[in-house]
Amino acid sequence: MSTAIMKAPKSFYHLHESLGDFGLRPVDPPTDSPLLHEWVTHPKARYWMMQDASVADVLAEHEAIEMNPHHFAYMGLYHYRARFLVEVYDPAHSELAGVYAPAAGDVGMHVLTAPSDTPIAGFTRGVMTAVMHLLFDGFGAKRVVVEPDESNEAILRLNEYVGFRPEKAVRLKDKRATLSFCTRIDFERSAAKGVPA
């Protein structure tokens, strides 16, 4: 298991060619928890398994992340307004270490977009593209690792869009997941970069 500490950027900016400005800053638990509570308890966020969480639960979760040198949470901004959440973690210090052999440079990720009454065409794809730039350019990832619930077809399609390749089904403590990987080359050759499928 790696003992290296991930170097996390204080903030990150990505200019999407059609959607415009995306930014990321660390979650501030006391300030952001009420809004994050609205997001994680929304029916659309059922795969985050926090449907019954209180604001205090969300605050405690993010205070724990803030204190963990192997786990980071970012508030994602679109045109300077909070619109998504990104969690970044070291797989060698997670339950994934029990289901595959993490390599140096592996970085794990979870992403959640805020519920919206006025969807923006291509927004979730834009979010995912910005997040991949955060991981490769901000964190210096050699390979990104994700473990979505195997029944979450929407995120599986989104992962494929940015270049993830499914490796295998794995049993984690609270779900059956599709372990998938994406290298920088996979990302550069993906639909997100305009490469035809």
Any domain includes 35: yes
Any idea which residue has 């786990």 for tokens?
71
Within a domain: 113? yes
Split into its structural domains, the chain has a count of 1
- Beta carbons within 8 Å of 86's beta carbon, 6+ residues apart: 24, 73, 74, 76, 109, 110, 111, 131, 134
Task: With respect to residue 75, please indicate whether it lies within any of the assigned structural domains.
Answer: yes
| Digitized pLDDT (tens) for each residue of the chain, 197 residues in all | 455 678 899 999 999 999 999 999 999 999 999 999 999 999 988 888 898 999 999 999 999 999 999 999 999 999 999 999 999 999 999 999 989 999 999 999 999 999 988 889 999 999 999 999 999 999 999 999 999 999 999 999 999 999 999 999 999 888 999 999 999 999 999 999 887 76
- Evaluate whether 106 touches 145 at the Cβ level (below 8 Å): yes
Does 7 map to a domain?
A: no
Which pTM was predicted? 0.94
